[in-house]
Amino acid sequence: MKKEMKQWLLIGVLSIFSIGGVMAQHTQHREQRKENRKEFVASLDENQKAAWEALRESRQTHRSALEKTLNDEQRAILKDGSGVRKRKRKELKNLYTEDQKAMIKTHKEQQRLEKEEFKESLNEQQLELYDKLRSKNRKKNKS
């Protein structure tokens, strides 16, 4: 009986340490992404910074335009604080109307074109920093 309790205690302690390690690693990755973004933005000239900001504003405009078309059920899914982003996306995707799907497709294509245009304005060093920034985000999203 005591041996079994010791085993459960050991499992509990190891679980706590592993969770703490994962959380610390997540914080480090977030800080590294912030540093990468700062380094990239610092390397941009004024026109490029304006284009970078325009990309951000365009994304926010598209998001708010889509949010205005959501019905009550879709809004409830977005406001649900208990869910994981991936699950929410999947649930929302199943509830999108044809108009919303068309809007998303149009926005996605516009964003792709704007990003390509922005990337064409970057020199080699900036392009490396941009790819480094993008690759970190992709790795995060895949895991």
For the ranges 36-40, 81-85, 89-93, 125-129, which has the lowest average pLDDT? 81-85
The tens digit of pLDDT for each residue in 1-53 reads 677 877 787 777 777 766 655 555 567 778 888 888 899 999 999 999 999 99
Provide the pLDDT confidence category of residue 69 given band limits of 50, 70 and 90.
very high
Question: Which amino acid is located at 123 in the chain?
Answer: N
Give residue 116's pLDDT. Answer: 94
Give residue 143's pLDDT. Answer: 44
What residue ranges in the chain does DSSP mark as E strands?
Answer: none
What angle (nearest 5°) sits at the alpha carbon of residue 43, between those of residues 40 and 46? 115
Half-sphere exposure of 75 (CA within 13 A, CB side): 7
Q: What is the pTM of this model?
A: 0.66
Which position has the higher pLDDT, 141 or 126?
126
| Residues 95/77, Cβ–Cβ less than 8 Å | yes
The tens digit of pLDDT for each residue in 104-122 reads 999 999 999 999 999 999 9
Give residue 141's pLDDT. Answer: 47
* Positive or negative: CA dihedral 38, 41, 46, 52: negative
The whole domain housing 74 covers 2-142
Give residue 52's pLDDT. Answer: 93
Distance CA 106, CA 85 (A): 22
* Positive or negative: CA dihedral 134, 138, 141, 143: negative
How many distinct structural domains can be found in the chain? 1
Which position has the higher pLDDT, 81 or 24?
81
Residues written for the chain: 143
The tens digit of pLDDT for each residue in 2-16 reads 778 777 877 777 777
